[in-house]
Amino acid sequence: MRFPLSSLRRTAAGAVLLLAAGLSTLSPAAARAEATEVRFARNLGLGYLPLYVMQDRGLVEKHAKAAGLGEVTARYTPLGNPTTITEATLSGNADFGAAGVPAFIIAWDKTRGNANLTGVAALNAQPAYLNTNKPTIKSLKDFTDKDRIVVPSVRASYQAIVLQIASEQAFGPGQHARLDPLTVSLSHPDGTAALLSGRTEITAHFTSPPYQDQQLQNPAIHTVLSSYDVLGGPASFSALWTSAAFRDANPTLYKAVLAALDEAVAFIKADPQESARIFIRIENSKLPADTVAALINHPEINYDLTPRGIGTFTGFMARIGSIRNKPADWRDLFFADIHDRAGS
């Protein structure tokens, strides 16, 4: 039996409408199952305090459940090297990475067109101090070939890039790499131990809170410079990133992570004392809670998800060849969820 073409068209159209109606009744979980575990790789120190608070208070789990995702497990792995953190996100061993802003910028640049690692938000703004145990070192020009400067990751960490900017300021254009041969990669705790011992070739450590403040409790340690002096004022110290693929596959979970970050920052501002105790518990730190709380409340430290001073880093890093792709605006590096914030 043959059917008129018009009848076939009406039948096909009806089938499409029925299929669409059936799909619309499916739950979001049935339509697209999102991850039930989310893994964070982070660096060490108060620059990553929002993640410590998220871990301690189960904030990702809380917001994931509120969003209808059910039971979600969040895992946090502390790593002391920004390059290792980037590798963890690229290898699939972590879904989110948290490290200094320059390390994030390098990761963003190197993964354009493939993994597309992109920023979720900044985590805080804080100064980093270059401390030394050598009385004769008063400025960068006093370092000799016998000195060694600890940074978290050579030529890639926040401290390493700030040191390059400072070197160009001290020695002139084109001299950004002048002190690079003196730098060595160590985690903040290991670098602190080496500097305080005074028994190694380590004579300086470019670090971050609370390690730099712990060092300065020793009268033999003094500060050579602050990153804020080099950068001309406050700028974001750390950032959180993930891949475009993870965000696309887990849109609800991604928003739960961002909501957890916002709540963590609000908690830090409302209760620095408990935030300090959280940091001490997770780090198994011997520092007094009042000391850590005072650092959290320090006027030069601000916990805020808005990226600030990103252009200072990208402009310098593009000029010296650390990155190939210079973003036109800070928003090029971050997902659209925070584009309405007044960043720079």
* Domains of the chain (ranges, CATH numbers): 32-125+235-338 (3.40.190.10), 129-231 (3.40.190.10)
H/E element holding 112? none
Reply yes or no on whether the pLDDT at 136 is more than 60. yes
Half-sphere exposure of 323 (CA within 13 A, CB side): 24
Residues 221 and 219: their CA atoms lie apart, in Å, by: 5
Q: Is the model's pTM score more than 0.85?
A: yes
Residues 207 and 189: their CA atoms lie apart, in Å, by: 9
Q: Predicted confidence band at 18 (pLDDT cuts at 50, 70, 90)?
A: very low
Predicted local confidence at residue 4, as pLDDT: 39
pLDDT in tens, 255-274: 999 999 999 999 999 999 99
Average pLDDT in the chain: 92
Q: How many helices (H) and strands (E) does the chain have?
A: 15, 10
The tokens describing 79, both together, are 């790593």
Residues 6+ apart with CB under 8 A from 248: none
Closest CA to 235 of 112, 128, 79: 128
Q: Predicted confidence band at 32 (pLDDT cuts at 50, 70, 90)?
A: low
